């Protein structure tokens, strides 16, 4: 009878283990995405908008820490704060006062910077309609199994976001850009976070499926900045992103926190404004969406035991030795320069040629038709 | 599981890529108390990118640059990113000069696909090259287009070997507004074979490098001679980084410099892939050790002729374990004892400024100083001015010591609006101990309102002038290019012993163009008030104004008489 109970418990144990294994495998493939991308945009110029650059860089830092590589991040910063001449500590951008956390770091790659951050470039990056000579690091090469995180920050209003103090993008344009992305199947799921004044107005016009949006304030409310640093002299971060960074610092690549926790970030008591979110277009339940689905990166690793034969490397053919002797060029050959032949100019007819030609034509005309017509001219 | 050993390839059948990597750091204390550090990383590779079969096996040479060379048929590429302006009078001459902002100049090959007659071909390749480089270096090099590219006719001869120099294959562009920050240093460091993990590159920490008076990083690719016979060529990649640390910013006013103070790191090992890894400290001004003291002491000394002068250096060889001592780390310390002595006065330096007032016209003045007491030498001045400053070339004057100095060669290409900039190249002979002034007047153009940058009131930049010259040297220069020399002395090729080639950059100019008022409320108020006043006011007048006949008012005497009559009760006049 001991044997029977032993076998029974063994079977139960095996069934339990199999269940766990299948559950983990199920989790591995449940979200349906195979790669992660992030587009992080700061749209403000000038030194007093330091906090917008710090916002974007703190999200960049979290996203990199959780696994998305630089090749999958398109970072757009409209102005340079780190090496700005007004920065008392060059090559740093701080997010906490007393200069505790340098979000700029030592390993940062900014893809679009300065004057390149325009509405046109932003929409071209999203929709993929870039000129053919654009390098890979400036492209969003996502496909239909990509989860994309889009983060925007800057100055905004009811229905628009200001780019560099000279142009704006409206919520209708943004919704249309996402629809273009959906029709070209450029994303699997998209998370849109915006930290501006009246940020919720930017997502009210979305109509494409599988979009989830978060904003730092409702329509009619301003998003406030967190704290100034007296040594640097400007406000360092916005409240919403400050608490978002604090929340993300606790996330590690294997954590299981889901979107419902993200919606609770920065309640009214901390943020003064009311953060909003929109999930009606999203197909899955937000409670089942992990933070790392958007902020982290999926690494599909397949272990194989088979040997792979590599082809032989291409042997460069050693050509025959050149007979002539090379030499270095004279850097300032004065005599050669002075006696240089002038460049080929465009050929012009000699001076006065056109005038002479017209005089000839007039003379011939008056000779043929008589001098009486001459008085009509003069 | 199966543990079969992988197939071994016969080593004799695979040709070993013959590449070599050297790194060096030169530290030169300056008389103002600042310190100048110059890093050079050089990879030489005996290969041919231009041959038909593609190069596929990269070892020390970075693959991204190798692909750029072969795809765009590049013969030479020089790109530099600089923050700050090099102060020649206080700091002397740099080992590798560079202008503020970004500068890119490229010599293309005459390849089968791109014959020079198809002039647009080189331009098309140039545009694609700038886009690819903007992705590699995370810089806005894609702003280089025909409006800031020039084709110099006599300056910027190739620094590598070659037999023909047809200037139709040369393109030069600068972006004086380009900002240099960590995002440019990160990809630059990733091009090094050891990255920033070992060797001298561990010292390159951005928080210290950008907190300096001058920071310049550059990449130079050129073909060089492989050996003294010079029948075959190798490709050379030099990555240089020049930085000048300020006495008050980085050293808190104390004249005591160490590697830790400058870079917040010390050295623990050389790059294992490097064939030579050395540090040179310039002790020429300190022959008996009375000015400053260098520790730890080293027995190795070396002399080199660089920039026309024979300099003595203390050498620290990082490939020798003994350099690191018992603490296994090297932290060089340079402590000043006295602060007398003056530095060698640089023979050539230049300044440039904008004169004039108002937003319509101005004048560009370029001053070139020849500080040699009795020798004169020729300089080649290259000026590239954007099209929106319309130069009046008939007002160009070149004066030395008050007298007119006629240049022996002038090449001027006028600008075309929105298409190409002005290009002015002149060969001027500078008389000894004099100042030569080049002035030209210009007029500022009004741009279309979409052409203004988002911050137009900052001003618009005009790139630095380039002055190339053969300056007489104090000691005989070494013309034997194949002898083993430190990297800093072999940057510019030397053909004659009595002079050396130097390139000086002037300051970039910042000019204000007439800028419209982009502030919306002001415009709206003005427009609305004008419309209301003119439109509505006229309409109201038209509808409601009626004309009445009125008698002219009487004179003063009559008016007084009328008042008296009224008082008397008599009818007025």
Copy the structure tokens of residue B177.
Answer: 């507004």
Q: State whether residue B81 is helix, strand or coil.
A: strand
Distance (Å, whole) CA B290 – CA B292: 6
The pLDDT of residue B9 is 45
Token match 């090259």: residue?
B129
Distance (Å, whole) CA B183 – CA A83: 10
DSSP H helical ranges for B242-318: 247-250, 259-263
Q: Would an 8 Å CB–CB cutoff place A343 in contact with chain B?
A: yes
B455 neighbourhood in chain A, CB within 8 Å: 45-46, 165
The string of pLDDT tens digits covering residues A336-356 is 888 876 656 667 777 788 889
- Contact call for residues B43 and B236 (beta carbons, < 8 A): yes
Could you tell me which residues come within 8 angstroms of residue A49 by beta carbon, excluding any fewer than 6 positions away? Answer: A79, A154, A155
Q: How confident is the model at residue A20 (pLDDT cuts 50, 70, 90)?
A: low
Do the chains contact at A136 and B9, CB–CB below 8 Å?
no
Could you say which of A42, A96, A197, A226 is catalytic? A197
Do the chains contact at A327 and B427, CB–CB below 8 Å?
no
DSSP H helical ranges for B516-555: 520-531, 537-544
Q: What is the DSSP secondary-structure string of A121-140?
A: HHHHHHHT---TT--GGGS-
- Contact call for residues B439 and B395 (beta carbons, < 8 A): yes
- Contact call for residues B260 and B246 (beta carbons, < 8 A): no
Cis ω for the linkage preceding B296 (within 30 of 0): yes
Do the chains contact at B14 and A115, CB–CB below 8 Å?
no
The pLDDT of residue A279 is 92
If you average pLDDT over every residue of chain A, what do you get? Answer: 86
The pLDDT of residue B10 is 47
Q: How far is B53 from chain A (nearest CA, A)?
A: 7
The pLDDT of residue B196 is 87
Q: How far is A306 from chain B (nearest CA, A)?
A: 8
- Contact call for residues A243 and A198 (beta carbons, < 8 A): no
Residue B422: CB atoms within 10 A of its CB come to 22
A165 neighbourhood in chain B, CB within 8 Å: 454-455
- Is a pLDDT exceeding 90 seen at residue A214? yes
- Is a pLDDT exceeding 80 seen at residue A98? no
Distance (Å, whole) CA B487 – CA B73: 26
Do the chains contact at A316 and B225, CB–CB below 8 Å?
no
User: At residue A8, what are phi and psi to the nearest 5 degrees?
Assistant: -60, -45
Distance (Å, whole) CA A223 – CA A228: 15
The pLDDT of residue B46 is 87
Rg (CA), chain A: 33
Range 127-156 of B in CB contact (< 8 A) with A: 127-128, 131-132, 134-136, 138-140, 142-143, 153-154
The pLDDT of residue B498 is 87
Could you tell me which residues come within 8 angstroms of residue B182 by beta carbon, excluding any fewer than 6 positions away? Answer: A82, A83, A91, A104, A105, A106, A108, B206, B210
Across the interface, of B9, B140, B481, the residue whose CB is closest to A328 is B481
Q: Would an 8 Å CB–CB cutoff place B8 in contact with chain A?
A: no
pLDDT tens, residue order, chain B (573 aa): 344 444 444 444 445 558 899 999 999 998 888 899 999 999 999 888 776 667 778 889 999 999 999 888 899 999 999 999 999 999 999 999 999 999 999 999 877 666 655 567 888 899 999 999 999 999 999 999 999 999 999 999 999 887 778 888 999 999 999 999 999 999 999 999 998 899 999 999 999 999 999 999 999 999 988 777 777 888 999 999 999 999 888 878 788 899 999 999 999 989 999 999 999 999 888 877 788 888 888 888 888 888 888 889 999 999 988 888 888 888 888 888 877 767 778 899 999 999 999 999 999 999 999 999 999 999 999 999 999 999 999 999 999 998 999 999 999 999 999 999 999 999 999 999 999 999 999 999 999 988 899 989 899 999 999 999 999 888 888 777 666 778 888 888 888 888 889 999 999 999 999 988 777 777 788 899 999 899 988 999 999 988 889 888 778 888 898 899 889 888 877
Copy the structure tokens of residue A256.
Answer: 């299981």
B131 neighbourhood in chain A, CB within 8 Å: 133-135
- Contact call for residues B369 and B421 (beta carbons, < 8 A): no
The pLDDT of residue A87 is 92
Q: How far is B34 from chain A (nearest CA, A)?
A: 18
- Is a pLDDT exceeding 70 seen at residue A315? no
Task: Please give the interface size between A and B, counted as residue pairs whose CB atoms are below 8 Å apart.
Answer: 177
**Angle at CA B470, nearest 5°, toward B463 and A327?**
100
Instruction: State how far the alpha carbon of B348 is from the alpha carbons of A61, B406, B471, in Å.
Output: 47, 19, 8
The pLDDT of residue B4 is 42
Q: How confident is the model at residue A206 (pLDDT cuts 50, 70, 90)?
A: very high
Could you tell me which residues come within 8 angstroms of residue A96 by beta carbon, excluding any fewer than 6 positions away? Answer: A236, A237
B57 neighbourhood in chain A, CB within 8 Å: 313-314
Q: What is the ipTM of this complex?
A: 0.84
Q: How confident is the model at residue A17 (pLDDT cuts 50, 70, 90)?
A: low
Angle between helices B63-71 and B119-137 (to 10 degrees): 170
Q: Would an 8 Å CB–CB cutoff place A326 in contact with chain B?
A: yes
Could you confirm whether A83 is annotated as catalytic?
Answer: no
- Contact call for residues A194 and A223 (beta carbons, < 8 A): no
Could you confirm whether A155 is annotated as catalytic?
Answer: yes
The pLDDT of residue B119 is 63
The pLDDT of residue B12 is 46
Q: What is the mean pLDDT of residues A13-18?
A: 66
Distance (Å, whole) CA B81 – CA B185: 9
In chain A the beta strands, taken as DSSP E runs, fall at 35-42, 73-77, 112-113, 146-153, 155-157, 160-163, 167-170, 189-195, 211-215, 276-278
């Amino acid at each position: 009878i001991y044997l029977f109970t032993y076998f029974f418990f063994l079977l139960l144990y095996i069934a339990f283990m199999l269940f766990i294994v299948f559950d983990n495998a199920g989790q591995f493939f449940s979200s349906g995405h195979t790669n992660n991308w992030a587009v992080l945009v700061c749209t403000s110029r000038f030194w007093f908008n330091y906090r917008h650059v710090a916002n974007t860089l703190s999200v960049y830092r979290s996203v990199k820490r959780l696994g998305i590589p630089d090749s999958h991040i398109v970072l757009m910063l409209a102005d340079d704060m780190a090496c700005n001449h007004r920065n008392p500590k060059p090559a740093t951008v701080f997010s906490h006062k007393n200069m505790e956390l340098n979000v700029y770091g030592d390993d940062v790659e900014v893809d679009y910077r300065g004057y390149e951050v325009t509405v046109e470039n932003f929409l071209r990056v999203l929709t993929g309609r870039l000129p053919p000579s654009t390098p890979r690091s400036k492209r969003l090469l996502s496909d239909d199994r990509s989860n994309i995180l889009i983060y925007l920050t800057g100055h905004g209003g009811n229905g628009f976001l200001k780019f560099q103090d000279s142009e704006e993008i409206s919520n209708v344009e943004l919704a249309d850009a996402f629809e273009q992305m959906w029709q070209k199947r450029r994303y699997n799921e998209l998370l849109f976070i915006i930290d501006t004044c009246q940020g919720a107005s930017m997502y009210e016009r979305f109509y494409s499926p599988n979009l989830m949006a978060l904003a730092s304030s409702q329509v009619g409310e301003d998003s406030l900045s967190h704290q100034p640093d007296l040594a640097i002299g400007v406000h360092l971060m916005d409240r919403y992103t400050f608490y978002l960074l604090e929340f993300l610092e606790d996330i590690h690549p294997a954590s299981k926190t889901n979107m419902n926790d993200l919606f609770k970030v920065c309640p009214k008591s901390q943020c003064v404004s009311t953060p909003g979110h929109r999930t009606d277009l999203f197909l899955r339940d937000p409670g089942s969406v992990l933070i790392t689905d958007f902020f982290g990166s999926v690494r599909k690793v397949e272990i194989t035991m088979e040997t792979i034969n590599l082809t032989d490397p291409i042997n460069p053919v050693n050509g025959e030795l050149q007979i002539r002797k090379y030499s270095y060029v004279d850097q300032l050959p004065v005599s050669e320069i002075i006696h240089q032949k002038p460049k080929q100019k465009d050929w012009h007819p000699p001076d006065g040629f056109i005038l002479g030609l017209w005089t000839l034509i007039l003379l011939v005309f008056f000779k043929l038709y008589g001098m009486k017509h001459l008085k009509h001219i003069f | 599981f199966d543990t079969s050993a992988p197939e071994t390839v016969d080593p004799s059948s695979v040709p070993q890529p013959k590449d070599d990597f050297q790194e060096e750091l030169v530290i030169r204390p300056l008389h103002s108390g600042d310190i100048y550090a110059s890093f050079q990383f050089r990879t030489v590779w005996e290969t041919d990118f231009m041959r038909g079969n593609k190069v596929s096996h990269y070892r020390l040479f970075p693959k991204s640059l190798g692909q750029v060379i072969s795809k765009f048929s590049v013969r030479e590429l020089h790109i530099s990113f600089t923050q700050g302006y090099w102060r020649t009078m206080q700091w002397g001459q740099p080992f590798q000069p560079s202008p503020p902002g970004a500068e890119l100049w490229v010599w293309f090959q005459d390849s089968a696909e791109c014959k020079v007659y198809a002039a647009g071909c080189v331009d098309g390749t140039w545009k694609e090259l700038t886009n690819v480089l903007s992705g590699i270096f995370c810089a806005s090099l894609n702003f280089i287009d025909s409006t800031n590219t020039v084709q110099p006719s006599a300056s910027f001869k190739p620094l590598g070997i070659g037999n023909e120099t047809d200037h139709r294959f040369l393109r030069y562009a600068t972006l004086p507004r380009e900002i240099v920050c960590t995002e440019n240093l990160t990809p630059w460091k990733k091009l090094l074979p050891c990255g920033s993990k070992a060797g001298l590159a561990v010292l390159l920490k951005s928080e210290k490098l950008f907190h300096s008076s001058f920071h310049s990083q550059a990449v130079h690719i050129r073909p060089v001679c492989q050996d003294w016979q010079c029948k075959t060529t190798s490709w050379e990649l030099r990555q240089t980084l020049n930085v000048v640390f300020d006495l008050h910013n980085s050293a808190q006013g104390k004249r005591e410099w160490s590697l830790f103070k400058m870079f917040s790191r010390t050295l623990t090992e050389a790059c294992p892939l490097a064939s030579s890894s050395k540090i040179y400290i310039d002790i020429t001004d300190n022959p008996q050790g009375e000015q400053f003291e260098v520790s730890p002491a080293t027995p190795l000394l070396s002399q080199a002729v660089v920039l026309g002068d024979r300099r003595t250096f203390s050498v620290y060889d990082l490939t020798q374990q003994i350099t690191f001592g018992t603490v296994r780390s090297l932290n060089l310390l340079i402590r000043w004892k006295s602060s007398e002595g003056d530095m060698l006065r640089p023979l050539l330096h230049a300044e440039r400024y904008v004169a004039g007032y108002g937003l319509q016209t101005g004048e560009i003045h370029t001053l070139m100083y020849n500080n040699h007491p009795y020798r004169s030498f020729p300089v080649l001045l290259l000026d590239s001015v954007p099209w929106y400053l319309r130069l009046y070339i008939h007002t160009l004057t070149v004066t030395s010591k008050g007298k007119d100095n006629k240049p022996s060669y002038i090449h001027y290409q006028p600008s075309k609006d929105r298409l190409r900039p002005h290009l002015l190249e002149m060969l001027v002979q500078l008389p000894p101990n004099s100042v030569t002034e080049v002035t030209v007047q210009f007029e500022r153009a009004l741009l279309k309102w979409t052409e203004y940058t988002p911050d137009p009131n900052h001003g618009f930049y005009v790139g630095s002038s380039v002055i190339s010259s053969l300056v007489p040297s104090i000691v005989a220069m070494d013309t034997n290019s194949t002898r083993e020399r430190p990297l800093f002395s072999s940057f510019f090729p030397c053909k004659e012993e009595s002079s050396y080639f130097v390139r000086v950059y002037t300051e970039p100019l910042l000019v204000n163009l007439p800028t419209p008022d982009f502030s919306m409320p002001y415009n709206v108020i003005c427009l609305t008030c004008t419309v209301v006043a003119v439109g509505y006011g006229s309409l109201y007048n038209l509808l409601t104004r009626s004309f009445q006949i009125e008698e002219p008012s009487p004179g003063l005497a009559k008016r007084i008489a009328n008042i008296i009559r009224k008082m008397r009760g008599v009818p007025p006049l």
